[in-house]
Structure 1
């Protein structure tokens, strides 16, 4: 994605902050524990924290967390939902924290938006020696037949390039982390953990509507795409009537600061 296009997508969420807060999933606790297991302590920065989905999971796990988010509307939702969390305006490229002040930097469905040429040294600056940088992504489990069909019905804008396990592994293998030639970080590791979200057909369509590709789409095209998704869900016995669990995985990309 070209820089201007990436900026257009990454800045699209604020207009849908309330919907994002309502419909996006949290993160599997096992995945967050794995992300943190080699960290030297429990001072954690949630970077690009959005409305606080990952922040809330970190709070539930009892770590000391500070959240940083660049979009004012997303930050307002985070502060409303988690008033006791220290939440600051800032970005991956300009983190408003002192050097070596955190033991881990986590990013939930956000690391792919970072300009890592700038953000990599900045993340290294705020991490204590031996600290951990980890990106987490909730991906659809397309090993389930109806979920694979949803990916086809939704298309690339609703179900994007990191939204299935195989695609996530390929997409993150050589991207989204500080370059391997940089001396500050070690060898990256990938892992994934079962997760799920209770949804109805309508709420799943609303969830997919909060994806960046959908948010930047012209209104008529977006309505047509969501109409195809709703028609698909209405035609599947797994999703046509009442609540169901959307099968997902929380996928984690982890690297240690040297």
Structure 2
């Protein structure tokens, strides 16, 4: 299936996305966005997981998101942000209007050949482009087993340290390990909000969810538990 089809699928699962996806650690936000920044573009803002962290850090946030269903969730969860319809290839902001661009869990959906020049256009000279991904920590055995269940139908490989190039400096990389507390319902929401799960048939999706619950039982996960994550970050400055 095309990446466009997968990217467009999220709108139908916006509520599950908001309930089940993890937030982003404050340490990642502090590393990604310079403290002197004032106006930040949250590209591919989704339901506002990163937007809320940026607002909490004191930034003025322009949140750009292509999905109307996601924007509806975003308006409820992060209404203090300025919310726009747009994509990485077409940002509805003026030239040199933001101090930083942060793209969390979404850069793999853009066309870098078009998106990198667009980021350079909206950034002020010396501005920062930061890319962030929350990745489940597969070094924990039950998480590795969970991924085996999730990827019986398809495996989505994401480059979490992509090249940027163009007018940007050589990228820097770091990662932060942390744990997200959730319950079984939120675990299922996390699963059903994934693009490859959204596009499964109803029969295959239910079989997958049954497999996730069986795994939770076999590993002794209670009603509430911690899911370990590695937040991987890349940043580069506009020369």
C-alpha deviation, 1:205, in angstroms = 2.1
TM-score between the two structures when normalised by the length of structure 2: 0.94
Q: Is the 8 A contact 1:191 1:251 kept in 2?
A: yes
Residue 62 of structure 1: aligned partner? 58
- Find out whether 1:255 has 2:231 as its counterpart: no
Q: Is the 8 A contact 1:151 1:159 kept in 2?
A: no
Q: Return the alpha-carbon distance in structure 2 between the equivalents of residues 255 and 41 of structure 1.
A: 14
Q: Map Cα deviations across residues 30-49 of structure 1 (whole Å, 9 max, x no partner).
A: 01111113x76231100010
Q: 1:8 aligns with which of 5, 8, 11?
A: 5
Q: Secondary structure at 2:132's aligned position in 1?
A: strand
Residue 160 of structure 2: aligned partner? 172
Q: Secondary structure at 1:11's aligned position in 2?
A: helix
Q: Return the alpha-carbon distance in structure 2 between the equivalents of residues 156 and 133 of structure 1.
A: 34
Q: Secondary structure at 1:100's aligned position in 2?
A: coil
RMSD, matched Cα? 1.7
Q: Secondary structure at 1:34's aligned position in 2?
A: helix
Q: Return the alpha-carbon distance in structure 2 between the equivalents of residues 230 and 160 of structure 1.
A: 21
Q: Is the 8 A contact 2:133 2:233 kept in 1?
A: yes
> Which deviates more from structure 2 when the two are superposed, residues 131-140 or residues 151-160?
151-160
TM-score between the two structures when normalised by the length of structure 1: 0.87
- Find out whether 1:80 has 2:76 as its counterpart: yes
Residue 115 of structure 1: aligned partner? 111
Q: Is the 8 A contact 2:19 2:186 kept in 1?
A: no
Residue 167 of structure 1: aligned partner? none
Listed as ranges, the gaps of 5+ residues in structure 1 are 163-170
Q: 1:24 aligns with which of 18, 21, 26?
A: 21
Q: 1:198 aligns with which of 181, 195, 201?
A: 181
Q: Is the 8 A contact 1:202 1:230 kept in 2?
A: no
Q: Return the alpha-carbon distance in structure 2 between the equivalents of residues 202 and 234 of structure 1.
A: 14
C-alpha deviation, 1:231, in angstroms = 0.7
Q: Return the alpha-carbon distance in structure 2 between the equivalents of residues 144 and 58 of structure 1.
A: 29
Q: Is the 8 A contact 2:133 2:160 kept in 1?
A: no
Residue 172 of structure 2: aligned partner? 189
Q: Return the alpha-carbon distance in structure 2 between the equivalents of residues 156 and 185 of structure 1.
A: 38
Q: Is the 8 A contact 1:158 1:209 kept in 2?
A: no
Residue 98 of structure 2: aligned partner? 102
Q: Secondary structure at 1:31's aligned position in 2?
A: helix
Residue 214 of structure 2: aligned partner? 231
Listed as ranges, the gaps of 5+ residues in structure 2 are none
